[in-house]
Structure 1
Amino acid sequence: MKLFLAIKTLTVINIILGILLLAILLHELYIYIQGRRSAKVLTEEEFKEGMRKAQVVDIREREDFNAGHILGARNIPYSTLANSYGSFRKDQPIYLYDRKKSLAVRSAIKLKKQGYKDIYILKTGFQEWTGKTKRK
């Protein structure tokens, strides 16, 4: 009897864990699809080519930005993005990046919902950037 209850409990736990894993995967898929609809992902070379005529925005927090950022970028942390929509111009492309790419995708989704259309994301993020950088 005890063995039966232990097996039943493990089965319930496995089902719950499976549902949680499925929910996480579906959420990540949703973010991926929304990100693809909101912005175009650029290679480093494409990013470098267009960044002179764009608003280059580092979405990382201030400490990370000060430790090093793409030359010419300005810092608007993801945590303050909702209060900073007025800082963006709608007539110029917006080039976003963060450490890898996840916050940039989420930022692009938010900006798209606010009516911004010309949004681009650095594919590899700052972590793999080989271009010019600046430290504060």
Structure 2
Amino acid sequence: MSIKTVIDIVVLILIVWFLYTRLKPVKGLKNLKPEDFLNETKNNNKCIVVDVREPGEYKRGYIKGAVNIPLSQLQRRLAEIPEDKTVLLYCQSGMRSKNAAKVLRRSGYSNIAHLQGGVSAWGYKLTHK
């Protein structure tokens, strides 16, 4: 086997591993469709809605009642998220909210859901500052 073939195989394995780690389901995370997410925000008074997008994205439009805690700041701002509430996460497409859910799970949070497809799939009115 040539060295080029070995390198190609290693690169392919790394790409597959990277994709798997990014796309695999997060244990204990509920995936909510926009309608279910909206109902949860309206009917669950024991929830907090967290927008994990960056501040510039948040200012362009956010779900009413959401607090902006960017994924890049989440670890150091965990104290702002009560552990006894349902945490409803969203981002632009659903990828960052899944990563945020991983951070929260590792930090002891258990009741976590996210907006499947993010605000790109939302379809309802967004609030603007």
Band of TM-score, shorter chain: 0.7 to 0.9
> In structure 1, what is the Cα distance between the partners aligned to 2:52 and 2:77?
11
Instruction: Indicate whether 1:29 and 2:20 are aligned.
Output: yes
Q: Aligned partners of 2:34, 2:83: CA distance in 1, in Å?
A: 23
1:44 aligns with 2:37: no
Distance 2:40 2:9 in 1: 44
Query: Is this contact kept in 1: 2:26–2:102, CA < 8 A?
Result: no
User: Could you tell me whether the CA contact under 8 Å between 2:63 and 2:127 is conserved in 1?
Assistant: yes
Consecutive unaligned residues of structure 2, counting only runs of 5 or more, are none
Q: Aligned to 1:133, what secondary structure does the other structure show?
A: coil
Which structure shows the bigger proportion of residues in helix conformation? 1
The aligned residue for residue 58 of structure 2 is: 65
User: What is the root-mean-square deviation of aligned Cα atoms in Å?
Assistant: 1.8
Aligned residues: percent identity?
Answer: 27
1:82 corresponding residue in structure 2: 75
Residue type at the aligned position of 2:35: E
Under a length normalisation based on structure 1, what TM-score does the superposition of the two structures give? 0.83
Pairs aligned (count):
126
**Per-residue deviation, 1:14:** 4.5
TM-score, normalised to structure 2, is: 0.87
- Alpha-carbon distance between aligned partners in 2 of 1:60 and 1:74, rounded to the nearest angstrom: 10
Cα distance, 1:85 vs structure 2:
0.6
Residue pair 1:39, 1:121 contacting (<8 A) in 2 also: yes
Following TM superposition, the consecutive aligned residue runs of length 4 or more in structure 1 with deviations greater than 6 angstroms are: none
Larger Rg: 1
Render the CA deviation track for 1:18-75: whole Å, top value 9, x for unaligned.
3223223223323444x43041111111111111322111100000000111121110
Cα distance in 2 between the residues matched to 1:80 and 1:89: 16
For structure 1, list consecutive stretches of 5 or more residues without a partner in the other structure.
1-7
The 2-side partners of 1:18 and 1:51 are apart by 47
